[in-house]
Amino acid sequence: MDLFLQRLFDALTNGSTYALIAVAMVLIFKATTLINFAQGEQAMLGAFIVLQLWKWGIPMWGAVVIGMIFSGILAACLERTFIRKFDPADHLPLVIITLGLFLVINAVAAIIWRFDPLSFPQLFPSGKAVTIGNARLSWYSIFAFGSCLLVLFILQTLLTKTKIGLAFRAVSSNLESSRLCGIKIGQTLQFGWALAAAAGTLGASIYAANPVLQIEPTIMLRALIFSITAAALGGLDSLWGALLGGLTIGFVQSVVVQYIPFIPNEMTLAAAVVVLLIVLTFRPSGFLGTKTVEMV
């Protein structure tokens, strides 16, 4: 029982990160039915910007906020320059462009900051908060998960109670009618990309703030596959599904690590891909997605 609880607690930590990146992917998917392969790298770049700002003396959380805003602006520019030009129904060029962005952003971060691991500011208080028997839940995990919930609530409010949020949901729902109602599609999409990038940056920052981890340009590479699987599992167009999916993948990870006697690191990746395969083949709408998530 203790072991199981510990699994659960471990799942919270990673699961929250995957959930935040997954949320970013869901935002973009909702608006454009596109999967942004560069999302993880954008998030990583954002986290590095946060790190740099902090090194220049800006207080931790201020750096995070500025980093989020900056990555949002960058994402809006990326959307305008590269994504806007393509027909959303033609997947191939868009897939290729996001792959290109993946390579470029990764390379740029590596060129600027090199590959040496660096210490990321500790965003959350350290130490164990709760101890149940032998299972220990750290403050970090609680705050990571809490931040995740907070982000989701903020997004929910943003999307349901503001005009631009309404525009965003209208665009995801019916592109043509949105145009007929006077919604400026381009601006709305940029908004979506900016929000997604900000969520991603927060996710990567929280991930890097883990006391046992250090930040370097490859941190989000593995997280990408997990986040995409989490998003698919939750239903690519559901924000809460992304949270659920993220936690599930986190849980699968901590379970797989213990109970399958292969090289743990590698097998969690395999597990994620297998889950992805099953979801995409048999239940593309995931847990909470709408059935209209199209496969064709």
The nearest distance, CB 266 to other proteins, in angstroms, is: 4
What sections of 138-263 are H helices per DSSP? 139-161, 163-173, 175-180, 185-208, 219-234, 239-259
Query: Contact between 128 and other proteins (CB under 8 A)?
Result: no
Interface positions, 199-258, toward other proteins (CB under 8 A): 225, 228-229, 232
Number of residues that bind other proteins (CB under 8 A): 64
Q: Which is nearer to other proteins, 211 or 284 (CB)?
A: 284
CB-based burial, 103-117: b 16+ in 10 Å, e otherwise: eebbeebeeebeeee
Residue 199: CB partners within 8 Å, gap ≥ 6?
20, 21, 23, 24, 27, 151, 155
The nearest distance, CB 194 to other proteins, in angstroms, is: 20
- Candidate list 118, 169, 257, 287; residue touching other proteins; CB under 8 A: 169
The nearest distance, CB 129 to other proteins, in angstroms, is: 35
- Count how many Cα atoms sit within 13 Å of the Cα of residue 5 in the half-sphere of its side chain: 11
Query: Contact between 80 and other proteins (CB under 8 A)?
Result: no
Query: Contact between 85 and other proteins (CB under 8 A)?
Result: yes
Query: Contact between 177 and other proteins (CB under 8 A)?
Result: yes
Three-state DSSP class for 137? strand
Query: Contact between 270 and other proteins (CB under 8 A)?
Result: yes
The nearest distance, CB 111 to other proteins, in angstroms, is: 4
Cα–Cα distance measured from residue 40 to residue 155, given in angstroms and rounded to the nearest whole number = 19
- Candidate list 12, 34, 74, 151; residue touching other proteins; CB under 8 A: 34
Query: Contact between 260 and other proteins (CB under 8 A)?
Result: no
Of 194, 294, 196, 292, which Cα lies nearest the Cα of 239?
A: 196
Of 204, 35, 218, which Cα lies nearest the Cα of 123?
A: 204
- Candidate list 179, 258, 260, 264; residue touching other proteins; CB under 8 A: 179
- In the block, tokens 């740029």 appear at 108
Query: Contact between 262 and other proteins (CB under 8 A)?
Result: yes
Residues linked to residue 160 through DSSP beta bridges, in sequence order: none
Q: Of 7-15, 61-69, 130-138, 175-183, which part binds other proteins (CB under 8 A)? A: 175-183
Of 123, 122, 118, which Cα lies nearest the Cα of 214?
A: 118
Of 151, 103, 121, 97, which Cα lies nearest the Cα of 49?
A: 121
- Candidate list 53, 183, 198, 208; residue touching other proteins; CB under 8 A: 183
Q: Of 66-74, 123-131, 249-257, 275-283, which part binds other proteins (CB under 8 A)? A: 275-283
Is residue 88 within 8 A of residue 34, CB to CB? The reply is yes
Provide the binding-site residues for other proteins, judged by CB under 8 A.
34-35, 37, 82, 85, 91-97, 99-108, 110-111, 114-115, 163, 166-167, 169-170, 172-174, 176-185, 225, 228-229, 232, 262-263, 266-267, 269-270, 272-273, 276-277, 280-281, 284, 290, 295-296
